[in-house]
Structure 1
Amino acid sequence: MSQAKVEATKRCYLVFGASGGIGSSVASQLVAQGHHVVLASRDSERLTQLADQLQMPCEAIDAADFEEVERVFAKGVELRGQVDGAVNCVGSVLLKPAHLTSFDELQQTIAANLFSAFAVVRAAAKHVGQGGSSVVLISSAAARIGLANHEAIAAAKAGVEGLTRSASATYARKGLRVNAIAPGLVKTKLTERIWKSERAATHSEAMHALGRLGEPGDIASGVLWLLDPTNQWITGEVIGFDGGLGRIKL
């Protein structure tokens, strides 16, 4: 393959929440495929470490801030001429019943999970590349099945799913595809309070039909599949990557 053709296959992707378990796995797999990736996260220390490791540019931002998200898209356009896709892996976990959840906790949960997703969709709609672009958002099995003590995160992720369907309709004619993945419990630093407890991990594994918790790579593989322009006839979908948690009762 000529150098020109190699360059033509390289695309520019933005990964928000890149310093987290799923985000770093997505970024690493995209770089391994030869793509250009702009990394964005609030955790500047871990973000810089990942950027040095992958030799890719990074921006320390609050992904719930519209202007800061716009800046990351502008950087992608500046570096590569266009943005071919973006994934929002920003999120949080709050396991509390509604009556014990404070207003500030709810507000923070909505901001981290829904506002960040909205900000990414909003900016992506303004920067649709030639030949179209793809946005992948992260929902949760908790938005699809009733799980005790998940009220705040379930509400936020249900908003992400509604956003996915509405935005996919609004921007389809512009060539912007919007899809989401709904994971079960994935073993990341964010969720380690759950899976590091032997009792909680055993209980959680039993809730997943395939008998194990997810790994970041399980979710990253789905994200890359949805970002790939080979799959450009898919939009408005929320796909469960959850070991059966959201659909199967044993």
Structure 2
Amino acid sequence: MARFLIIAGASAIGQATAQQLRDEGHQVMTTARDASRISPDFVLDASDFDAVDQTLRDAGPLDGIVNCSGSLMLRAAHLTTRAQYDETIKASLTTAFATVRAAGRHMTQGGSVVLVSSAAARTGLANHEAIAAAKAGIIGLTLSAAATYAGTGLRVNAIAPGLVESPLTAALTNSETSRRVSEAMHALGRIGRPEDAARAIVFLLDPANDWITGQVLGVDGGLGSVRPKMKM
């Protein structure tokens, strides 16, 4: 039995990941900003460096940590306020950095860190400037941290999902027209499910895959790399 911590465990991907790990018999602890959606083991503002550091200290020895924190703000750069930009960076990139920082301090015997980027960081999507900047930063963070901590056996990887059905993306998936457009952008013709992303995270956490580090795994129905044939 391994021990894992999921930051932002109340997110759709976080909950799906926790369930899959528990189904495999592992011990899973979660964090959330409050107890409105789950009963977390730790109430945590994941952008607070000291708080994340203390949470890992309190959690004890870990085999892996996942940061599922993020936001979705779709707006052209010229329509984005400074406050919106700051919040987007804070929710995704700052929390990811805080996670890596704490893992580097406390997971000195090795293990796995998994971050969540986005297909939007690897392909140009209109009105995604702020979120693409934040998620692209996570890719750079993943690569650099993987190099820094490889000597201690600490692996750092990320997944880059396409559009995943969740409360966060409801504005895009609840509208029939918007949903059809989004589905058509994915070569496999459907929106992702939280379980799709969770399976990739569990794979990267697995100690059996301990020769994988510095990788960004697209879990995106082809959105990040494939252009489907247009239906006439």
TM-score by length of 2: 0.96
Equivalent AA in structure 1 for residue 176 of structure 2: E
Does 2:66 align with 1:92? no
The number of aligned residues is 228
Q: Which has the higher helix share?
A: 1
Match of 1:103 among 82, 89, 92: 82
2:144 and 2:24 map into 1 onto residues whose CA distance is: 31
Match of 1:74 in 2: 57
Distance in 1, Cα, partners of 2:43 & 2:172: 28
Match of 1:118 in 2: 97
Contact 2:120 2:128 in 1 (8 A): yes
CA contact (8 A) 1:47 1:60 kept: no
Q: CA deviation at 1:242?
A: 0.1
Q: Is the 8 A contact 1:186 1:216 kept in 2?
A: yes
Structure 1 position 127, deviation (Å): 1.6
SS in 1 for 2:183: helix
The answer to whether 1:171 aligns with 2:171 is no
Q: Which residue of 1 aligns with 2:112?
A: 134
Give the root-mean-square deviation of aligned CA atoms: 0.9
Q: How does 1:212-227 map to 2 (within 5 A)?
A: 212-227=190-205
**Residue 55 of structure 1 aligns with which residue?**
none
Query: Which of residues 190, 204, 207 in structure 2 aligns to 1:229?
Result: 207
Taking the aligned partners of 1:192 and 1:17, their CA distance within structure 2 comes to 18
Partner residue of 1:190? 168
For 1:75, the aligned partner's letter is: D
- Is the contact between residue 84 and residue 129 of structure 1 (CA under 8 Å) also seen in structure 2? no
- Indicate whether 1:35 and 2:19 are aligned: no
Give the AA of the match of 2:47. A
Match of 1:248 in 2: 226
AA of the residue aligned to 1:60? V
Offset, 1:43: 3.2
Q: Name the CA distance, whole Å, in 2 between partners of 1:114 and 1:173.
A: 24
